[in-house]
């Protein structure tokens, strides 16, 4: 299992809070996460659970009023939180790069594709001349499946479709052959046939270049098809961690179980149930979190103890961790 | 099968693009081209397809929010009058729409009482106590407390806002509701709540739905029949179960295969990924519009446009009535 190999990225007890007028919002609360060499790790959760803030923290991109207030982020064993601005810049793009959900807003509309792709390369490697940069850009665009890459270099972002723009983003992210690629909802804005193309491409490039990937998504279908290991986040915390097969076969946290059960899917006997399972209540307000387990107000298995103290993330064997006093047992599921 | 409530015959909608500083001359966008379909009382017909295929435009044409370039829409056998005519008012009470984005579709300066109450005032002339009473009932119907009448949209979560949108659409007891991607913007745990609510209301209020969606897991769960669109054309049409079992149009097959399944073992299935991008609706390809992406395309596909016709292939129910399976392809899949 890839999870057993040396850690490329290790996040320990990361705490990132936002100091707003309404009070302190603990967006990321004591999150620990590990990414092995060549591993594809999924970070799953709903809006506002802190999955994007976790990744922005790794790149030192948390904007005010947000602030990292504790923890360690080790890349190849070195704590990047102690890095100078210059070293951080070298890390970003060169060693760790990121692709975002909205490919239209992440490309600069006034520069050509060629200018932006070569800039990504040349700003990290000053030895690369403009001719070589152009050649490598063409090669990279071809590699992400863009036809006629030479003529595309002259195009502006608005002349490309959403799928092509996301390919350009991936080309920019991978042109320096980073050790780690953070992909934040990379296919959410795309159509399903294009989503399938992009996910296939990411897996293929991951095998060829050997980069590790952190895939941030709310889509459990995307996780099931792509990831090796999965972390489930809820209200700023990791609530479950497991190998992807283990997680889908044997979810232990009532939240994970609820998410999996609420996806409409076909029944073996084709008599689809009329009603879907649903988790009651709403996604919590991060500025007014309950005491005890953060999922308790929405949980069917909640008992009094859950509202008093918060459970720890505990090992239940096979690298499967869960933060729950009353994890799912096999009898109660489905 | 019940009687048709909505019938569209040879419906076409072309939009003219305006000339501007960067493009001289106008061109025509073929948003909907010669579409005929029927929706039966109390059924859910799903409209699926990728962005730009015209599914939202078709939904709006069917309830006369948009005037067609040519073609006829009949509602309960009666031809709909022009968009700005007085006669359309009485039909408007019976045809409503639920929008995708619950953040953009509610006026932030209006209280819930006035958002839901607006159609009650304009169509039924309800005022004061009467109006408040009816709004309270509607709130309860969609699972929100009556006490929310005095609140503003910003005080609600996405799922709650969508419930308000549903209450507003149902305020006048319509018969036919266009649901335009009603759960796409919602979190996974909230999606199933809203889907259940829509199904409950359909049963209680004897509603007919046109359910527009790109999520094929949701469509499979909720719809009786499916209409697959590609670039302004209906390419396949039939009962949900038959279409999922035996897609006849190559595009339908690729669309179904592209949807990521919430099962990690599905990654080992050989998946056919559709190549290429969606062609432009300004200059659609000659003949079959899908041919530029279709791996089975033959010379005939460029010369002759395939017509939507009843199919005798597997999965055809053998009926000759209007609800039967239809496909627009010269070489349908076996």
Q: Are residues B158 and B178 in the same domain?
A: no
Whole-number pLDDT of residue A274: 73
Calpha distance A298→A46 (Å, rounded):
14
A251 neighbors A245 (Cβ within 8 angstroms): no
Q: Count H helices and E strands in chain A, helices first.
A: 11, 12
CB atoms within 10 A of CB A300: 11
Task: Give the residue from B273, B276, B295 with the most A CB atoms within 10 Å of its CB, the best one to mutate.
Answer: B273
Q: Judge: A264–B258 Cβ closer than 8 Å, yes or no.
A: no
Backbone angles phi, psi at A173, to 5 degrees: -70, -30
What is the average pLDDT across B36-61?
93
Whether residue B263 lies inside any domain: the answer is yes
Q: For residue range B179-207, what is the model confidence (pLDDT) as tens digits? A: 999 998 888 888 999 999 999 999 999 99
Whole-number pLDDT of residue A332: 53
Q: Judge: A272–B221 Cβ closer than 8 Å, yes or no.
A: yes
Q: Judge: A222–B260 Cβ closer than 8 Å, yes or no.
A: yes
Calpha distance A91→B222 (Å, rounded):
47
Q: Are residues B134 and B183 in the same domain?
A: no
Minimal CA separation from A273 to chain B, in Å: 8
Q: Are residues B161 and B179 in the same domain?
A: no
Chain A: residue nearest B274 by CA?
A193
Chain A: residue nearest B242 by CA?
A270
Whether residue B100 lies inside any domain: the answer is no
Whole-number pLDDT of residue B236: 95
Whether residue B332 lies inside any domain: the answer is no
Q: Are residues B80 and B119 in the same domain?
A: no
B-chain residues within 8 Å CB-CB of A225? 260-261, 264, 266-267
In terms of Cβ atoms closer than 10 Å to its own Cβ (0-12, 13-18, 19+), residue B64 is buried
Minimal CA separation from B140 to chain A, in Å: 16
Q: Which of residues 159-198 of B touch A (CB under 8 A)?
A: 159-160, 187-193, 195-196
What is the average pLDDT across B197-225?
94
Chain A: residue nearest B187 by CA?
A46
Whether residue B259 lies inside any domain: the answer is yes
Chain B: residue nearest A197 by CA?
B273
B73 neighbors B7 (Cβ within 8 angstroms): yes
Calpha distance B243→B227 (Å, rounded):
10
Q: Which has more pLDDT, A119 or B276? A: A119
For all residues of chain A together, what is the average pLDDT? 89
ipTM, interface predicted TM-score of the complex: 0.83
- How many domains does one find in chain B? 2
Domain boundary among B165, B184, B205: B165
Which residue among B160, B216, B262 places its CB closest to the CB of A282?
B160
Calpha distance B215→A232 (Å, rounded):
22
Q: Count H helices and E strands in chain B, helices first.
A: 10, 12
Q: Judge: B192–A161 Cβ closer than 8 Å, yes or no.
A: no
SS (H, E, C) A158-192: HHCCHHHHHHHHHHHHHCCCCCEEEEECCCCCCCH
Q: Are residues B293 and B260 in the same domain?
A: yes
Whole-number pLDDT of residue A43: 97
Q: Is A300 helix (H, G, I), strand (E, B) or coil?
A: coil
Q: Are residues B134 and B236 in the same domain?
A: no
Calpha distance B249→B235 (Å, rounded):
7
Domain boundary among B165, B195, B210: B165
The alpha-helical segments, DSSP class H, found in chain A are 51-58, 85-94, 113-122, 130-143, 149-152, 162-174, 192-209, 220-226, 244-249, 254-261, 304-308
- Half-sphere exposure for B323 (CA within 13 Å, toward CB): 18
Whole-prediction pTM: 0.88
Minimal CA separation from B104 to chain A, in Å: 17
Q: Are residues B119 and B153 in the same domain?
A: yes
Minimal CA separation from B187 to chain A, in Å: 6
What is the average pLDDT across B1-13?
90
Q: For residue range B265-297, what is the model confidence (pLDDT) as tens digits? A: 988 777 788 887 788 888 889 999 999 999 999
Q: Which has more pLDDT, A283 or A218? A: A218
Whole-number pLDDT of residue A2: 42
B83 neighbors B64 (Cβ within 8 angstroms): yes
Calpha distance A158→A161 (Å, rounded):
8
Minimal CA separation from B13 to chain A, in Å: 23
B118 neighbors B138 (Cβ within 8 angstroms): no
Calpha distance A116→A120 (Å, rounded):
6
pLDDT band at B94 (very low <50, low <70, confident <90, very high): very high
Q: Are residues B254 and B285 in the same domain?
A: yes
Q: Are residues B193 and B288 in the same domain?
A: yes
Whole-number pLDDT of residue A164: 85
What is the average pLDDT across A282-287?
84
Q: Which helix H or strand E contains A9, and what residues bound it?
A: strand A7-20
pLDDT band at A5 (very low <50, low <70, confident <90, very high): low
Q: For residue range A24-81, what is the model confidence (pLDDT) as tens digits? A: 999 999 999 999 999 999 999 988 899 999 999 999 999 889 999 999 999 999 999 9
DSSP at A288: S
Q: Which has more pLDDT, B26 or B256? A: B256
Minimal CA separation from B215 to chain A, in Å: 8
A-chain residues within 8 Å CB-CB of B263? 224, 248
A221 neighbors A252 (Cβ within 8 angstroms): no
**B28: domain range?**
4-94+174-327
**What would the two tokens of residue A143 be?**
């590699």
Q: Judge: A265–B258 Cβ closer than 8 Å, yes or no.
A: no
Q: For residue range B101-117, what is the model confidence (pLDDT) as tens digits? A: 888 889 999 999 999 99
Minimal CA separation from A293 to chain B, in Å: 18
CB contact set of A202 (below 8 Å; sequence gap of 6+):
A170, A181, A183, A186, A213, A215, A226
Q: For residue range B151-177, what is the model confidence (pLDDT) as tens digits? A: 999 988 888 999 999 999 999 999 999
Is pLDDT above 90 for B319? Answer: no
Q: For residue range A69-110, what is the model confidence (pLDDT) as tens digits? A: 999 999 999 999 999 999 998 898 789 999 887 767 788 999
Q: Are residues B136 and B217 in the same domain?
A: no
Q: Are residues B136 and B240 in the same domain?
A: no
B272 touches chain A (CB under 8 A): no
Q: Judge: A270–B195 Cβ closer than 8 Å, yes or no.
A: no
Minimal CA separation from A85 to chain B, in Å: 36
Greatest CA separation for chain B: 68
Task: Give the residue from A263, A287, A288 with the most B CB atoms within 10 Å of its CB, the best one to mutate.
Answer: A263
CB contact set of A279 (below 8 Å; sequence gap of 6+):
A255, A258, A259, A262, A298, B189, B192, B193
Q: Which residue has the tokens 């469509």?
A: B219
- Half-sphere exposure for B273 (CA within 13 Å, toward CB): 15
Q: Judge: A224–B273 Cβ closer than 8 Å, yes or no.
A: no
Calpha distance A76→A4 (Å, rounded):
15
Q: For residue range A157-183, what is the model confidence (pLDDT) as tens digits? A: 988 888 888 889 888 988 888 899 999
Greatest CA separation for chain A: 68
B-chain residues within 8 Å CB-CB of A260? 262
Calpha distance B130→B120 (Å, rounded):
10
**What would the two tokens of residue B121 be?**
């005032």
Q: Judge: A278–B277 Cβ closer than 8 Å, yes or no.
A: no
How distant, in Å, are the alpha carbons of A94, A174, B163, B277 from that of A171?
A: 13, 5, 41, 18
Which residue among A164, A224, A262 places its CB closest to the CB of B189?
A262
Whether residue B140 lies inside any domain: the answer is yes
* B44-48 vs B225-230, strand pairing mode: parallel
Q: For residue range A235-278, what is the model confidence (pLDDT) as tens digits? A: 999 999 999 999 999 999 999 999 999 988 765 445 555 788 99
**What would the two tokens of residue B85 be?**
């005519």
B269 touches chain A (CB under 8 A): no
Q: Over pLDDT 70: what percentage of chain B?
A: 94
Minimal CA separation from A291 to chain B, in Å: 21
Whether residue B102 lies inside any domain: the answer is no
Chains A and B form CB pairs within 8 A to the count of 127
Q: Is A42 helix (H, G, I), strand (E, B) or coil?
A: strand
B310 neighbors B332 (Cβ within 8 angstroms): no
pLDDT band at B318 (very low <50, low <70, confident <90, very high): very low
Is pLDDT above 70 for B320? Answer: no
Residue B89, domain CATH: 3.40.50.300
Q: Judge: B278–A191 Cβ closer than 8 Å, yes or no.
A: yes
Whether residue B103 lies inside any domain: the answer is no
Domain boundary among B130, B146, B165: B165
Whether residue B69 lies inside any domain: the answer is yes
Q: Judge: B277–A276 Cβ closer than 8 Å, yes or no.
A: no
Q: Is A112 helix (H, G, I), strand (E, B) or coil?
A: coil
Q: Are residues B137 and B272 in the same domain?
A: no
Q: Judge: A224–B262 Cβ closer than 8 Å, yes or no.
A: yes
């Amino acid at each position: 299992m890839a999870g057993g190999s040396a850690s490329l990225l290790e996040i320990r007890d990361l705490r990132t809070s936002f100091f707003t007028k309404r009070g302190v919002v603990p967006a990321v609360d004591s999150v620990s996460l590990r990414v092995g060499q060549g591993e594809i790790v999924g970070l799953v959760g709903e809006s506002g659970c802190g999955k994007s803030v976790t990744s922005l923290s790794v790149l030192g991109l948390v904007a005010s009023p947000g602030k990292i207030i504790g923890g360690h982020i080790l890349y190849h064993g070195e704590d990047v939180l102690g890095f100078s601005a210059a070293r951080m810049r070298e890390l970003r793009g060169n060693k760790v790069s990121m692709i975002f959900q909205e490919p239209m807003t992440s490309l600069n509309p006034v520069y050509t594709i060629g200018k932006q792709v070569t800039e990504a390369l040349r700003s990290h490697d000053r030895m690369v001349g403009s001719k070589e940069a152009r050649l490598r850009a063409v090669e990279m665009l071809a590699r992400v499946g863009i036809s006629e890459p030479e003529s595309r270099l002259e195009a502006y972002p608005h002349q490309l479709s959403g799928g092509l723009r996301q390919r350009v983003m991936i080309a920019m992210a991978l042109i320096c052959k980073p050790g780690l690629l953070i992909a934040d909802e990379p296919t959410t804005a795309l159509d399903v046939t294009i989503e399938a193309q992009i996910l296939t491409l990411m897996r293929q490039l991951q095998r060829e270049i050997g980069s590790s990937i952190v895939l941030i998504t709310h889509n459990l279908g995307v996780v099931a098809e792509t990831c090796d290991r999965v972390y489930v986040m809820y209200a700023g915390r990791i609530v479950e961690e497991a190998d992807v097969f283990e997680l889908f076969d044997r979810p232990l946290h009532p939240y994970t179980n609820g998410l999996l059960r609420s996806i409409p899917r076909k029944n073996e006997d084709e008599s689809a149930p009329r009603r879907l399972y649903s988790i009651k209540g709403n996604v919590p307000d991060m500025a007014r979190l309950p005491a005890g387990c953060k999922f308790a107000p929405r949980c069917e298995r909640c008992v009094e103890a859950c509202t008093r103290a918060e459970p720890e993330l505990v090992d239940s064997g096979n690298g499967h961790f869960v933060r729950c006093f009353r994890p799912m047992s096999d009898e109660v599921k489905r | 099968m019940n009687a048709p409530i909505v019938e569209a015959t040879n419906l076409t909608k072309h939009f003219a693009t305006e000339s501007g500083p960067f493009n001289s001359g106008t061109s025509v966008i073929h948003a909907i081209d010669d579409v005929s379909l029927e929706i039966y009382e109390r059924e859910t017909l799903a409209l699926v397809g990728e962005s730009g295929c015209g599914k939202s435009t078709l939904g709006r044409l069917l309830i006369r929010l948009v005037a067609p370039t040519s073609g006829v829409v009949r509602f309960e056998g009666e031809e709909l009058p022009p968009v700005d005519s007085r006669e359309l008012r009485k039909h408007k009470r019976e045809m409503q729409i639920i929008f995708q984005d619950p953040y953009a579709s509610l006026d932030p300066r209006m209280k819930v009482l006035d958002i839901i109450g607006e159609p009650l005032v304009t169509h039924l002339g309800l005022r004061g106590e009467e109006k408040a009473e009816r709004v309270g009932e509607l709130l309860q119907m969609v699972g929100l407390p009556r006490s929310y009448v005095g609140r503003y949209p910003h005080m609600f979560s996405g799922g709650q806002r969508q419930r308000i949108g549903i209450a507003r659409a149902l305020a006048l007891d319509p018969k036919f509701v266009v649901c335009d991607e009603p759960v796409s913007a919602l979190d996974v745990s909230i999606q199933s709540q809203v889907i259940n609510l829509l199904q409950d209301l359909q049963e209680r209020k004897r509603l007919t739905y046109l359910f527009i969606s790109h999520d094929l897991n949701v469509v499979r769960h909720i719809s009786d029949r499916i209409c697959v669109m590609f670039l302004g054309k209906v390419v396949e049409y039939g009962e949900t179960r038959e279409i999922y079992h035996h897609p006849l149009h190559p595009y339908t097959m690729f669309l179904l295969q592209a949807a990521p399944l919430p099962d990690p073992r599905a990654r080992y299935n050989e998946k056919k990924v559709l190549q290429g991008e969606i062609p432009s609706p300004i200059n659609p390809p000659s003949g079959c519009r899908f041919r530029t992406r279709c791996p089975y395309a033959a010379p005939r596909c460029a010369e002759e446009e395939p017509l939507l016709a009843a199919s005798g292939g597997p999965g055809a129910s053998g009926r000759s009535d209007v609800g039967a399976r239809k496909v627009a392809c010269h070489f349908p899949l076996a």
